[in-house]
A = this chain, B = another copy of it.
């Protein structure tokens, strides 16, 4: 048997995080994570759970009782939503316009569902006409869409139109709000979203580990009247109801420290005010957008469905995206990312999320990215970019 490994102190580099997530974490949230633990059944922890639920409802813009942090990262809240809502034999309609629609499909199939598609190209939103046609053709029980597609930088407009179509067909709507919650306008109740899930490490700037999920009564009625148990015990909402509901009975050990962290991250949302927070993201991302465009770079999505929290910037001709990404990481400790799937190699994905959404980071990004592109001989006008960025910031 091996001797004890000799592993040194934890000394990760000091990155600035402007990729698709995680974003930079606010110092108050980091501090909350070093708080000594109480037990997950401690009477004082129940107050903390209540605080988190109340703050999360505020951030989702919902009155849903069933608003909880799921004990895992964003894909866990996603699978909790889909795995509980989709019963064997159900039909789920999913989009094909990005990476995360594909993940919805895989989860729905594993839940025993039949999957049908509504198509749009990567980089474009769903068209309500297509959604209407898909409903008429397939009569799905559940409709999933991605409000803020992290793989393409597209914000889905017309959400209320989509949910109306679904409700006219007695279907339930699941929204992926991973990259919108806390950064981009999102109105769960007013828009008629039945179930929304998110991650904490995007616009909430909280370390991943406990992930927001909200379901209205109509969705919970379906969950609680299932004929067969969901296929995951860990993510079974009818059991989690016992812990997060009035009974407060033991199900599994909650990730206590992550609950502390999301409480503090959501407190920061409440202090700033949710509308102010949306405005800040829009203003800072507008400066980023103006800057890169004046440098000579295009954004992939059209302006009508540009997603401020995740900017899909087209890679200029002759530039190797991976090389530029490595350049800014090595020279500036700055994280940005490349494209996925159909957009691999074609875009940079530059996050403007939560604590990272500030003028300091945008200037830094412009400096680093401009240099990385010039190093590859790209035809970019960095001076013009800075000028446009500053002008936008001063508005």
Chain A residues with a Cβ under 8 A of chain B: 1-2, 4-7, 10, 12-15, 17, 19, 21-22, 24-25, 30-45, 48, 51, 54-55, 57-58, 61, 63, 71-76, 78-79, 83, 103, 106-107, 109-111, 189-190, 199, 201, 207-209, 229-235, 250, 252-258, 260-261, 263-264, 267, 269-271, 273-274, 329, 335, 337, 340
For residue A252, which residues in chain B have a CB less than 8 angstroms away from its CB? 73-76
A360 vs B338: C-alpha distance when bound (angstroms): 53
A72 vs B251: C-alpha distance when bound (angstroms): 14
Contacts A110-B229, A252-B75 given: A45-B12 contact, CB under 8 Å? yes
Task: Please tell me if the beta carbons of B22 and A37 are within 8 angstroms of each other in the complex.
Answer: yes
CB distance from A320 to the nearest CB of B (A): 17
Which residue of B has the minimal Cβ distance to A82?
B233
For residue A83, which residues in chain B have a CB less than 8 angstroms away from its CB? 232
A72 vs B232: C-alpha distance when bound (angstroms): 13
Q: Which of A42, A43, A55, A329 has the most CB of B within 10 A?
A: A42
For residue A199, which residues in chain B have a CB less than 8 angstroms away from its CB? 253
CB distance from A184 to the nearest CB of B (A): 16
A37 vs B265: C-alpha distance when bound (angstroms): 15
Contact of A208 among B73, B253, B263, B264 (CB under 8 A): B253
A75 vs B335: C-alpha distance when bound (angstroms): 33
Contact of A2 among B34, B58, B335 (CB under 8 A): B58
Task: Please tell me if the beta carbons of B15 and A207 are within 8 angstroms of each other in the complex.
Answer: no
Task: Please tell me if the beta carbons of B12 and A208 are within 8 angstroms of each other in the complex.
Answer: no
For residue A73, which residues in chain B have a CB less than 8 angstroms away from its CB? 71, 252-255
Task: Please tell me if the beta carbons of B234 and A75 are within 8 angstroms of each other in the complex.
Answer: yes
For residue A4, which residues in chain B have a CB less than 8 angstroms away from its CB? 58, 269-271, 273-274
Contact of A22 among B24, B39, B232 (CB under 8 A): B39
